[in-house]
A and B are shown apart, each in its own frame.
Chain A
Amino acid sequence: MSSIIEKPRFSCALAAQQTVLAIPGAAPIIHAGPGCASKASGFAGVQAGQQGEGYAGRTHVSCTNAGEKEVVFGGEKNLEELVSGALQVVKADLFVILSGCTAGIIGDDSAGVAGRFARNGDPVVGVDTAGFRGNNYFGHEVVVKAIIDQYVGKVEPSVEKGLVNLWASVPFQDAYWRGDLENLKGVLEKLGLKVNVLFGPSSEGVSEWKTIPNAQFNLLVGPWVGLSIVKHLEKKYGTPYFHYQTLPVGAQETSKFLREVGKFAGFDSEVVENVIKKEEKRFYDYFISFTDFVAEQRNILPYQLYVVGDSLYTSGITSYLTNELGFLPQGVYIIDDPSPEREEKIKAAFEESTENVGEIIRFEADGGLITRSIQEKIGASKKAIIFGSYWEKNISKETNNYFVNLSLPIATEIITSSSYAGYEGGLHLIEKIYSLAFNRGNLSSRTHVE
């Protein structure tokens, strides 16, 4: 948790400004040193597949740019002045103050400042996201809970049957978050659910957040990030939650996902099976159609699998590639720094999807050690595929192996709506993985190239 880090893969809690920016209509206000906001969007924005400023991100982020004076005398007054200005200048429905290290150490109370505005009817929320308190997975949870407590607030839920709040990836830190949420929403809607995705272009934004208490249940996809959110919602609004640990990628995992969610939601199994049947038919039509290619190129295609990413994505990718595409997992590196007691549960969930994978799972936030481990394991192989970040791309280049982007930093791919989730994500991955074979020069089944 507290070890030193070479080749970083996540940012600090303040980078949860990106969580705020992922909510249509919400704008962050940063109470921190002059570089923090810009750095947060540099990592969990630019290096998240070149996701730019969007509507109000990057250089547009309001900030106190706290200096020596604020550190010595306190910065709450400046923050108040900034919030007043932001309310005049920035067109947004919700403002979330996130404070950084300087404010955290000297003890400025951003929630207190927000409260003073909120009492006057201004939509302002405040939360301490000092960088030393945790990473941006942690930051995401505290920011979401602050919005729920201070903005959605104490309301009597008016439960709407079939309405579900979907909590899955961490926006931007998971570079494919937009497409993934859309794909998951798509399959859940086929079951007949109405889905609040809460983040991204398919969300209604701030008004959707107001309906969070009305959901029939909260659906958490992922091993640990978001668990404290759905538990909090259960306590606050009495909303039950369904916790599904693996990102559904491809047909097997997505069908399993739909069965379990359908059961929890109380749908008739026949209804669910009919949806699955239809979806699988479509999926396997596409799936079978590229098999001819694999059949004739088998000997040059990769089969050894290395996966580097957070606990949500590594599980889904490992399962799909192993169970449906026949890859042999060699190393799984989980980088999101879950608590030690969570690690065993994550391993168990992996084992449930993929046999005997437990022994090759390593929890490691120090990317330098991941690089050395992969280099050692990969040896002279030319048949490996690495799912990872910029850092692993370097290894794949140096060893002449295959590479697919999965986790941050991702600076060498443009990501718009593409996704790894659901049936559609599985098909997208097929295109991505097998097209790599063409990058090695002229590919011909008549000439064997090492």
Chain B
Amino acid sequence: MAINLSTGAPVIRERRLSSILSYNGTASDLNEKSKNSELKCSGRRYGQCSDCQEGCAQSMASYVRGGAVVSHAPIGCFAAGDSVRDNAGRAVSAARNKGDFSNTAICTNIQEKDTVYGGMEKLRKALREAYKRQNPSVIFITTSCASGIIGDDVESVADEMEEELGVPIVPIACEGFKSKVWSTGFDATFHGILKKIVREPKERKKDVVNIFNFEGTDTFTPLLAKLGLKTNYVVPLATYEELASLSEATCSAQICETLATYISHGLEEKFGVPEVKAPAPYGINWTDEWLREIARLTEKTDVVESVIESEHARIADELKELKERFEGKSVYILAGDAYTYNLSNLVKDLGLKIAGVTALHHDQKADSGEVNILEKLVESAGDIQNFNVCNKQPYEVVKIIKKINPDYLIVRHQGLTVLGYKLGIPTIFEGDANYSIGYDGVIRLGNRLWEAYLTRKFNENVAAHSEFPYTDWWMNEVDDPFYFEKGGKKA
């Protein structure tokens, strides 16, 4: 699918990737239906709070080292994440030995009178302040529901102020109400980066691989070093210059298709940097496959097989021990779209049975469309029952998990892990996605699950003293967790 950079914003995922927020069935059925985008993004008669794309847009823009962000929004949009990102930026910068970091951002603090007279003058003021206070190499402007509805022309302010300040200004259109799929916000920032920052390559760096990720620890460097390759982590902690030269890498890979489908494809289409056409390196067979594909793209096929062989041998004993511990046990996975595939593929190596999966949304297509990772998962791990899609909705999730009653739960999204504790299930939060990649990632995840099991008294105690805020009717009398869904959701 062609990426169109002439627009101010990417086409939202509901339209571009036929994303859906609700489904209940099996992995193979979802895969078949997705091939022709048969499923519709229907709503609910009752629902709980989702997240918005502004958060995802910020999560990429805020960590550009030396850059600044101006959030053109009321203070509530901005306050929630600003110090969190400052803290996370410092943490990852320390973990990767990259020195000091501070999140440099300013909010226009849109007030009532701005909604009447417009907020563009205030935006100009904030851009001048950001420039003066922070001397940034680039300024991103993120938008909000309020700035969008009142119709502030952020793009023209960006152009005009770029000229005045002499620093690149990148507008990111990420109004929360525009898309029901929060991951659209990643695309929004990537759109801005592709459109205004990445330049034509001056050279091709044959040993450099772009790795699109979040604020994870440095686990890709040792893995890729085995092939003699260098890791270029993006976007968090990259400088403006490093973003501009994304086009010079030999290929691009990602921790999760949900995160970087847009920019990986964009780099391939616009700048000739091939996207690694393999699932992300979670689980042993996918790590093998990923390494082979990267080796193919970087002319390292001569060494890759011996690397794979020795890595398998290195973890064999530990893996065997973990498998014995988890024999006959089941796990439930709750995570963002493609990351559920990563985790599902990984846990099979630990001998765990996948009791069910909740994906927080599902893209029926990917931007490149060349690799179908859900199909790969069905091939690799077999069909998965109780495969469903819902955008958080703990009232549904709690009902589903309670009924299935898995031995373990893995969660990747803030705010949901506690549900497992309240259900008394040994539960781990998959916060650092990098930590679970590769061969060591399988061992690490197994050890983390085992620790959760050993310390389960805490969970049991929480479960004994907490109550979910739902009526007896909902918890006990309604059979279908998807009772409130609109439209044809079922097979």
Binding site for B on A (CB under 8 A): 1-15, 27, 30, 32-43, 47, 52-53, 55-56, 58-68, 70-71, 81-82, 84-86, 88-92, 100-102, 104-106, 130-133, 135-136, 368, 389-391, 394, 409, 411
Contact = CB atoms under 8 A, between A and B. Distances in A.
Contacts, number: 231
A100 B149 CA distance: 13
A105 B473 contact: no
Max chain B CB contacts within 10 Å: which of A66, A101, A130, A133?
A101
Interface string B44-79: 111111111111000000000000000000111111
B76 to A, nearest CB: 3
Contact of A91 (B106, B178, B469): B469
A56 B129 contact: no
Contacts of A70: 177
Q: Which 10 residue pairs are nearest across A and B when measured between Cβ atoms?
A: A85-B46, A35-B52, A12-B76, A131-B74, A37-B49, A39-B80, A56-B469, A63-B49, A33-B176, A34-B50
A374 to B, nearest CB: 15
Contact of A10 (B75, B86, B110, B129): B75
Nearest to B87: A411
B108 A88 contact: no
A42 B395 CA distance: 19
B180 A34 contact: yes
Contact of B51 (A35, A90, A106, A389): A35
Contacts of A58: 415
A107 B377 CA distance: 47
A40 B51 contact: no
Contact of B133 (A67, A71, A368): A368
A390 B86 contact: yes
Contact of A60 (B81, B87, B106, B394): B394
B133 A27 contact: no
B106 A368 contact: yes
Contacts of B102: 394
A40 B484 CA distance: 25
B303 interface: no
Interface string B283-300: 000000000000000000
Contact of B52 (A33, A64, A84, A130): A33
Contacts of A391: 83
B397 to A, nearest CB: 9
Nearest to B77: A39
Given A37-B49, A42-B81, A65-B180, A6 B114 contact: no
Contacts of A104: 115
Interface of B: 44-55, 74-84, 86-87, 102, 105-115, 122, 125-126, 129, 133, 144-146, 149-150, 176-180, 182, 392, 394-395, 414-416, 418-419, 467-474, 484
A281 to B, nearest CB: 37
A11 B48 contact: no
Given A35-B54, A89-B471, A10 B79 contact: yes
A60 B50 contact: no
Contacts of B80: 11, 38-40, 42-43, 47
Nearest to A365: B109
B46 A62 contact: yes
A367 to B, nearest CB: 9
B415 A14 contact: no
A233 to B, nearest CB: 26
B104 to A, nearest CB: 8
A269 B105 CA distance: 54
A414 to B, nearest CB: 14
Given A11-B76, A62-B46, A101-B74, A132 B111 contact: yes
A178 B182 CA distance: 33
Nearest to A15: B76
A71 B76 contact: no
Contacts of A14: 76
A82 B180 CA distance: 17
A102 B471 CA distance: 30
Contacts of B133: 6, 368
A120 B105 CA distance: 48
Given A2-B122, A62-B49, A67-B178, 11 more contacts: A2-B113, A8-B79, A15-B76, A35-B55, A37-B49, A38-B50, A42-B414, A53-B415, A65-B47, A132-B114, A390-B83
Contact of B111 (A2, A37, A71): A2
B114 A409 contact: no
B79 A34 contact: no
Contacts of A11: 75-76, 79-80
A27 B469 contact: yes
B46 A5 contact: no
A84 B70 CA distance: 39
B82 A36 contact: no
A43 B76 contact: yes
A34 B44 CA distance: 13
A59 B415 contact: yes
Contacts of B45: 81-82, 84-85
Contacts of B49: 30, 34-38, 59, 61-63, 65
A70 B469 CA distance: 27
A1 B79 contact: no
A48 B4 CA distance: 42
Contacts of B76: 11-15, 36, 39-40, 43, 131, 136
B470 A34 contact: no
Contacts of A133: 112
Contacts of A30: 49
Contacts of A65: 47, 49-50, 180
Contacts of A32: 145
Nearest to B467: A55
Contacts of A100: 145
Contact of A43 (B79, B126, B182): B79
